[in-house]
Structure 1
């Protein structure tokens, strides 16, 4: 009935190229065969199942009946004058909430026990059906549609499972196209979206260009799998350092916090769990090669690497680097730090547009006030970190044709296998 060479070739192709297990595809074939059989030869309410032997190409068909008792169903008498189509439909409810008994769908317990003594209500009894080789064009077309739909559903599940495991990791892709500022990235089996607000300001991307991004979220929607990518997320910075610095990947050096203004400047606080390992040096690398590699990936974004401290005053002081701090006064109740710097260090402590103090506040979690000291015994000028704060989004009619069904099944499988190639060429 079937061309086994075609069937097995397509099964292997779909498994290799689209990650769909052979069992899922065989299940799709069986569902399609059962659907076609019921459409061509079945009766209303009948449950039809098919069993496809991939080694021989033979297909067997079965009718399934649900075992019920008198408390679950209601008998409806059909007069001779009533048409066949007036018979109860599958699951149609009677007036007292019981479903109407349908002999094509149900079997009473006492009758089922004559076939198998150990059955109970709710179980299924399976009966073989007469096989057929001739199917109408409509039935064959229906089978084809069922297979294509089932394969798409199986691929959707496969893609979701694969990328869910890679969520919150760095992922590589190729720029496919730009649309309304959003970037569509080819990830192999599917497409990810790099939204405009998740891109690094000032970066420009070309079609066909290789790109790395942080897989921010994986969502299953009615339209398919939605993969949200980001290059501006603070975690993208951390994941890049995990690649460059084995000490982070192994857990010897821990990233405690990150403050980032993508494309401009970032601060990252690190802690070593081994007194013999310098946490800052681990990220900088020999001759600065590690941090330089990360900066290059981020388009030259400046990165301040700071050793984390459990002492708030020390942590705040280090976070304001490269400015030199005279003193830090901590207010635990308001979680505020008052920092004194010399007059010539004030602009450095605050940073261009307040960036340095703003990032330091985000990194430490403390509100920071900068006070400049005008010489010995001189006056003081106070600047709050919140004066420099800006909105930040980074911290986020049937013709009977013998063999038509087999041809439709094979055509559907080949069509599904070709979908991948067509989408690639587009």
Structure 2
């Protein structure tokens, strides 16, 4: 039995022997009671199991768990004296069979614990590494994988959504945890973690293993698409080309391992705008606006580049955000210009309303009819103002009076439009700025 555990389970013989002895002592305590100095001996030849207790020789026994009568001991040890300590066999009838049955569960439990401890010592420093193994079974919805002497568990949340796993399949996973507290296998592995991408590139790309090329960041949507940012510490080595390999040989091998998952290799740059632009490729970006206070990046693109920038189901912009650490917002450049125009109009309305002490509705009517400044209103004929729908004679007279009461020099709050424009000219103004 010891040979079996040592050879097939990979357990040390001393560890197995200690586990068996501890289990037998536990079984002996149940059968014999709390005898003093209780221990168990196992005859390797006959298989006999004996329970031995260390008892004190007394004239009259008060505590049978600790004492033994001198008259009983003298039958086998004639020269014994009162007060001596003797090893005395206290094996109950049929103890060997009872002990074996009782100790079986304890022995297996201790052996499992010993095996877990051995696996922990071997794998605790390998967290983050790639492991290769074969699927042996399903257990409560989890996949159990044999890693040649140690079992690992691939939980549902650690699988790739569109992958199908069958018993007998050989797969690679990354070790993410060694958990001594969980029931069953203590090695927790993952197929969906970004570390899988990083480890595969380290295995396939010699320049990464040698430290010439560095992986700066990885973003992944398992089973669909990943982005990896790389940087070269040698100006003579192209980091993207090194990862792609001759005719794409290196990246193709990784994609095969990932069952067809697309991988974008991005050139890392310490300039955020350049890095973000690289990450969004093949989309072409017109302008990048970075707000460091909010962590938001506004990407301006031409209309024909909008869908390419966002990507299928938003993957491109989502992965770029994960890779760069910025919140990405994509906008057509025409939408931005329109938003700027509307913002300017709203500001002009607010300025004119404050300047003339009129409500913003009236200020908007005046601006829509080409009167965006105090100079334009001063030059306007009162009758022309009164003829505007929504103004009237009384309001026109009040506006002219308010303009007349203004200082000669325009106030700083005056609307930014310094010259009078027709509605058509006003619409063209933002595009010209």
2:163 pairs with 1:207: no
Q: Which has the higher helix share?
A: 2
Normalising by structure 1, report the TM-score: 0.64
Higher normalized strand content (fraction of residues): 1
Give ranges in structure 2 of 5+ residues lacking alignment: 69-83, 341-433
Other-structure match for 1:358: 318
Moved more, 291-300 or 144-153: 144-153
Q: Shift of residue 179 of structure 1?
A: 6.1
> What is residue 21 of structure 1 aligned with on the other side?
12
Contact 2:133 2:145 in 1 (8 A): yes
Structure 1 counterpart SS, 2:321:
helix
Matched, 1:370 2:333: no
- Counterpart Cα distance in 1 of 2:182 and 2:308: 51
Rg bigger for which structure?
2
- Structure 2 contact 283–309 (Cα < 8 Å) conserved: yes
CA distance in 2, matches of 1:22, 1:268: 47
> How many angstroms does 1:197 deviate by?
2.7
Tell me the alpha carbon deviations over residues 156-196 of structure 1, each in whole angstroms, 9 at most, x when there is no partner.
Answer: 32233333333222222222344676433333445433223
CA distance in 2, matches of 1:239, 1:280: 17
Q: SS at the partner of 1:129?
A: strand
Residue 165 in 1 paired to residue 156 in 2?
A: no
> What is the aligned counterpart of 2:299 among 332, 339, 357?
339
The alpha-carbon deviation at position 11 of structure 1 amounts to: 2.8
CA RMSD, aligned part only? 3.8
Q: Does 1:138 align with 2:117?
A: no
d(CA) in 2 for partners of 1:43, 1:365: 65
* Structure-2 separation of matches of 1:274 and 1:306: 17
Q: Does 1:46 align with 2:36?
A: yes
1:329 and 1:12, CA in 2 relative to 1: closer, same or farther beyond 3 A? same
Which residue of 2 is the match for residue 31 of structure 1?
Answer: 22
Higher relative contact order (CA 8 A, sep 6+): 1
- Cα 1:62–1:248 shift into 2, 3 Å: farther
TM-score (norm 2): 0.63
Q: Secondary structure at the residue paired with 2:195?
A: helix
The aligned counterpart of 1:156 is 116
Q: Which moved more, 1:303-312 or 1:42-51?
A: 42-51
Contact 2:53 2:89 in 1 (8 A): no
Q: Which moved more, 1:22-31 or 1:132-141?
A: 132-141
Residues 347-401 of structure 1: per-residue CA shift (max 9 Å, x gap): 21111222211111111111222232359x97589xxxxxxxxxxxxxxxxxxxx
**Alignment pair present for 1:266 and 2:226:** yes
Q: Tell me which of 87, 102, 105 is aligned to 1:129.
A: 87
Partner residue of 1:119?
Answer: none
Decide which of 98, 111, 134 is 1:174's aligned counterpart.
Answer: 134
Distance 1:210 1:281, change over 3 A: same
Q: Judging changes above 3 Å, is the alpha-carbon distance between structure 1 residues 352 and 153 closer, same or farther for their aligned structure 2 residues?
A: closer
CA distance in 2, matches of 1:60, 1:201: 57
Question: In 2, distance between residues paired with 1:195 and 1:145?
Answer: 28
What SS does the aligned partner of 2:180 have?
A: strand
Contact 2:161 2:223 in 1 (8 A): yes
Assess if the C-alpha contact under 8 Å between 1:64 and 1:127 holds in 2: yes
